[in-house]
Amino acid sequence: MTVQLVGEYRALQQMAREFCEQEIRPVAAARDRIKDPAKVFDWDLVRKGSALGLRTLAVPEKFGGPGVDLMGQALVILELARGDGGVAKTFSQCWKWTPMLTELATKEQRELFLPKFMEDDTYLLGLGGTEPDAGSDNRWPPDDPRAGWKTSAVRHGDEWVLNGMKHFIANGGVAKLFVIMARTDPTVPISKGTTMFFVPSDTPGFRFGRRHDKVGWRFYQNAELIMENCVIPDAFRLGEVNKGKTQRRDDVAGFNDVELVANVLGMAQAAYEYAIEYARNRVQGGKPIINHQAVGLMLADMYMRLEAARAYLFRVVEGSMEQGHDYDSASRQLAKVFATETAISVTQKALEIYGGAGIMKENPVEKLWRDVSVFPHLAADSVQILRTVEKLP
Amino acid sequence: MDFTFTDEQRALQQLARDFFESEVRPVAAEYDQREDPRDCVPWDIIEKGSKLGLRTLGTPEEWGGGGADLLTQALVIEEMARVDIGASKTFSHNWKVSSRIAALCSEEQKKRFLPPFVADHRYLLSNAVTEPDAGSDSHLPYDVPEAGPRCFAERNGKGFVINGMKNFIALAGVSKLIILWARTDRSVGITKGLSTFIVPRDTPGLSNGQFHDKMGMRLYNNAELIFENCHVPAENLVGELGQAMQQRAAVAKGGNIELMAHALGCARGAYEHALDHARNRVQGLKPIIEHQAIAMKLAEMAMEVEVARAMVWRCAWASEHMTPPDNRLTVFSKVFCTEMALRVTRRAVEIFGGMGVMKDGPAEKYLRDAAVLLHMDATNQINLIKVAKRL
């Protein structure tokens, strides 16, 4: 394995690091503490990041973007999440759905939406899948019409009428374009009866419901999407009817796993850095606490786990880049489970090293601990594990 | 060991359960989410609970308190903490501090300080040790002149003048009486140079610094205390000069059953919510408890809660029946119960899936609350280091 940070990668990493230090870190803690979840979001930060190309990082060169590959994306997320995991995810959520616009969309759809995405520095992307009664069922669908999303799309000539409600939707409340997963055949399981639609957020009949108030990762917006007789032209249908679950949609192999792994490890790295700095400066028992075995052992353990998880991340990046969608998916999917456990362990130890000060909001580690606590349910760890069982070597 | 409960113990358990279900559960989340920690103090709950005897349950009977033994206290705390750990600790902290006053103070001091405490439903007590540069040093203890609390009480005629500050002090923003640990001799370590004083809230020169903004246990107030030329009469010195560490050891021999019981209650509360959710939430066309992945988590949580309860009860029993008490047990239990609470509350969040991290679901608050327990009564690392010497 040859992971060399040469040329462009180094420059990208440096750019993201500077954005983290100069723009994210100075505001992240104060933003996190705002009570109203909608007000945590900072458009100014989005505009500044957009100006650096962070929002459109994944747009291929042939469409006028920088076309940063998976390795570059992982490096940028690691750095941004060191400042705030929610800010990093706000940007990378756009990368996640970029292939919808550039690869899966028709030429007409691409020409309609892509220029807006490229030019409007507040144009964010999202996808609506989850509903109150359809969580894990969407990821590990029982082969039964009763399970999974219920939001419906009914065809009337050249139009579709969408009705239903999505919740916990990422970039909900702030994105200008969503891909909505809707049931177009309720008599069959979602794997056979789902169609995808582009739905601009200003479409009549489409609105945002509640903004969700989360324990951590609060910068990253989640909201309800409500569709009441929301009429969409057939021209906005993405892909074929009833093929929404089966056609390939993430053309960047490995992205979904790498994105989350890099994010949670970026946050864990920050917790480690704060903890070791604190341990070198905090004196109890007549010496810096890092020189007490109890604390020294914890820091070495944190570093060891971070190193292991980072090595795993880069193995998945390299495997995905070399073998594409053929890359051994058990090892790819389990990386997120491992990284989440790593980050929970590391941030908890950081909390303990800070002692009583750790739980105080004036110090940085409690936020990182809360932020990381959001991770086990993302992409549903237990479902991820179960799905890999039959793929185990 | 016999854990057949008396009618009185059962009645108190029921009283705590009913009061916390009807008065605390409906409002705890709203208090928790208030931005300013000053607004998180649940005065209404404190007053109502006090009228039922919850503020003074552990205060000795001869002074008008409930005189509950440690096992009874543990039963009541478990019921309270399963609803809200912060409101629970706001009551039980007074049991601990008033018992210390009863154990350590002279008759004259007790007569001066305990009756007003018992009579006033808004009268809360603090015990001030920690300072920014004196955390683990006070627990180890690191017994050199340069280490430990710096807050200083200087002889001045018949009394003392106190200067210095304390931080992270429980109930310090709202209490009316403070047991203060102050340095009275800078030339020796804290085992010889630390003394105990009683300082009423209205003493000139005593004020609050910031109210600490905590991640969890937000209904339990913590604040800084600032002493600026604060005059305290000699009559407020507790016992002999330089004896604070010895006094603390004398009253702490039962260990921190209060803290363990809070960890137990917090974990049980999260477990009960998770069990209820798993029985009602349908994915894969059946309640998720029927999926092995979820069922095993719940079984493990129930097991951990049971083990913790056995430890708490055994410690409570031992503190009153074993002579001398095995004070390793209480350390083992403190470490186990607090870590157990974090594991169980983490599992509860997982079982709730996406709803687990939402503030309108019940799970995330338990996780934040449990995380606060780790460092209380010394970090678990310090506890283990200390107990290792007694293996």
Q: How many CA atoms lie within 13 A of A41 on its CB side?
A: 24
The reply to whether B384 touches chain A by the CB within 8 Å rule is yes
- Peptide bond before A66: cis, by omega within 30 degrees of 0? no
A94 and A215 assigned to the same domain: no
With pLDDT > 90 as the criterion, what percentage of chain A qualifies? 88
End-to-end distance of chain A based on CA atoms, in angstroms?
20
Token digits for B357?
Answer: 């991290």
pLDDT digits (tens, 9 = 90+) for A362-379: 999 999 999 999 999 998
Q: How wide is the angle at C-alpha A261 spanned by C-alphas A356 and A143, nearest 5°?
A: 115
- In a domain? residue A360: yes
Find the helix packing angle between B70-81 and B7-19, rounded to 10°.
20
pLDDT of chain B, 391 residues: tens digit per residue: 888 999 999 999 999 999 999 999 999 999 999 999 999 999 999 999 999 999 999 999 999 999 999 999 999 999 999 999 999 999 999 999 999 999 999 999 999 999 999 999 999 999 999 999 999 999 989 999 999 999 999 999 999 999 999 999 999 999 999 999 999 999 999 999 999 999 999 999 999 999 999 999 999 999 999 999 999 999 999 999 999 999 998 887 666 999 999 999 999 999 999 999 999 999 999 999 999 999 999 999 999 999 999 999 999 998 888 877 787 899 999 999 999 999 999 999 999 999 999 999 999 999 999 999 999 999 999 999 989 998 9
Report CB contact under 8 Å: A355, B215: no
pLDDT at A328: 81
Q: Does residue A6 carry a pLDDT above 80?
A: no
Q: Quick check: is A24 in a domain?
A: yes
At residue A82, the pLDDT reads 98
**Residues facing residue A178 across a β-bridge:** A126, A199
φ, ψ for residue B197 (rounded to 5)? Answer: -130, 155
How many angstroms separate the CA atoms of B71 and B121, rounded? 24
Cβ–Cβ under 8 Å, residues B333 and A191: no
Closest residue of chain A to B280, computed from CA coordinates: A133
Q: Which pLDDT value is given to residue A3?
A: 46
Same domain, A270 and A360: yes
Out of A206, A238, A270, pick the residue that ends a domain: A238
Question: Which sign does the torsion angle of CA B374, B375, B381, B383 carry?
Answer: negative
Range in A53-67, A220-234, B38-52, B250-264 with the lowest mean pLDDT: B250-264
Asked if A355 and B136 come within 8 Å (Cβ–Cβ), the reply is: yes
Q: Where are the alpha helices (DSSP H) in chain B?
A: 7-19, 25-32, 43-51, 70-81, 85-104, 107-119, 136-139, 190-193, 244-251, 257-280, 292-321, 327-351, 363-373, 380-388
Q: Same structural domain for residues A277 and A378?
A: yes
* Residues of chain B numbered 327-356 and touching chain A (CB < 8 Å): 342, 346, 349-350, 352-354, 356
CATH value at residue A41: 1.10.540.10
Interface residue B289 vs chain A (CB under 8 A): no
- Confirm whether A277 is domain-assigned: yes
With beta carbons less than 8 A apart as the criterion, state whether B32 and B218 touch: yes
Is A351 domain-assigned? yes
A15 and A36 fall within a common domain = yes
Decide: A265 and A306 in contact? Cβ < 8 Å: yes
What is the extent of the structural domain holding A144? 125-238
Domains of chain B and any CATH numbers: 7-119 (1.10.540.10), 125-242 (2.40.110.10), 252-388 (1.20.140.10)
Residues of chain A with Cβ-Cβ distance to B358 below 8 Å are 168, 212-215
Which residues, 6+ apart, have CB-to-CB distance to B267 below 8 Å? Answer: B301, B304, B305, B308, B337, B340, B341, B344, B345, B366, B370
Q: SS3 of A207, please?
A: strand
Considering the domain boundaries, does residue A130 fall inside one?
yes
- At A387, the pLDDT band (50, 70, 90 cuts) reads confident
User: Is the predicted pLDDT of residue A5 greater than 80, yes or no?
Assistant: no
pTM: predicted TM-score of the whole model, two decimal places: 0.95
| Of A205-219, A246-260, B140-154, B307-321, the least confident | A246-260
Q: pLDDT tens digits, residue range A24-36?
A: 999 999 999 999 9
State residue A1's pLDDT score.
37
Mutate to test the interface with B, among A284, A293, A352, A389 (most CBs of B within 10 A): A284
Regarding whether A113 and A136 lie in a shared domain, the answer is no
CB-CB under 8 Å, A352 with B374: yes
Answer whether B213 sits within 8 Å of A352, measured CB to CB.
Answer: no
Paired residues of B163 in beta bridges: B152
A280 with A381, same domain?
A: yes
Residue A243 lies in a domain: no
Measured between beta carbons, the chain B residues lying within 8 angstroms of A142 are 284-285
Count CB neighbours of B89 within 10 A: 27
The whole-number pLDDT of residue B254 equals 63
- Residues A115, A138 within the same domain: no
**For residue A2, pLDDT beyond 60:** no
Report the C-alpha gap between B281 and A376 in whole angstroms.
18
**Structural contact between residues B326 and B351, judged by C-beta atoms closer than 8 angstroms:** no
> How close are the terminal C-alpha atoms of chain B, in Å?
23
Q: How many independent structural domains does chain A possess?
A: 3
Mark which of A238, A263, A295 sits at the end of a domain: A238
Cβ A266 vs Cβ A80: under 8 Å: yes
Q: Tell me whether residue A249 is in a domain.
A: no
CA angle A214, B83, B275 (to 5 degrees): 75
Does residue A138 share a domain with residue A108?
Answer: no
Residue (of A266, A276, A254) closest to A350 by Cα position: A276
Alpha-carbon gap, residue A355 to A352, rounded angstroms: 5
Tokens 């590391």, located at residue: A346
Write the pLDDT tens digit of every residue in A282-303.
999 999 999 999 999 999 999 9
CA distances from B247 to A69, B50, B175, B252, B379 (A): 65, 28, 22, 9, 21
| Closest CA in chain B for residue A131 | B354
CATH of the domain at A280: 1.20.140.10
* Facing residue for A216 by CB, picked from B140, B284, B357: B357
- Statement to judge: residues A182 and A291 lie in one domain: no
A31 and A56 together in one domain: yes
Claim to verify: residue A311 and residue A347 sit in the same structural domain? yes
Per-residue pLDDT, B33:
96
3-state DSSP call for residue A122? coil
**B138–chain A Cβ distance below 8 A for any pair:** no
Best A359, A369, A384 member to test B by mutation, with max B CBs in 10 Å, is A359
pLDDT of residue A179: 97
Residue B339: closest CA among chain A residues belongs to which residue? Answer: A348
User: Which two three-digit tokens encode residue B291?
Assistant: 């999926």
Structure tokens at B230: 């604060």
Q: Are A285 and B33 in contact (CB < 8 Å)? A: no
Contact B212 A360 (CB under 8 A): yes
| Cα distance between residue A214 and residue A221, in whole Å | 9
Q: How far apart are CA A58 and CA A381, in angstroms?
A: 26
Helix H or strand E segment including B153 = strand B152-156
Domain end call among A204, A238, A272? A238
Q: What are the pLDDT digits (tens) for A321-375?
A: 999 988 888 899 899 999 999 999 999 999 999 999 999 999 999 999 999 999 9
Q: Which amino acid is at B77?
A: I
pLDDT at A382: 81
How does DSSP classify residue B154? E
* Number of other residues whose CB lies within 10 A of the CB of residue A241: 16
Give yes or no: residues A131 and A194 share one domain: yes
Residue A321 counted as domain residue: yes
The conformational region for residue A217 under phi > 0 = left, psi -120 to 50 = alpha, else beta, is left
Looking at residue A250, its pLDDT comes to 60
Decide if A286 and B384 are in contact by the 8 Å CB cutoff.
Answer: no
Q: How far apart are CA B62 and CA A247, in angstroms?
A: 77
Name the pLDDT band for A390 (thresholds 50, 70, 90).
confident
Provide the CATH number for the domain around residue A206.
Answer: 2.40.110.10
- State yes or no: pLDDT of A142 exceeds 70: yes
Amino acid (one-letter) located at A357: A
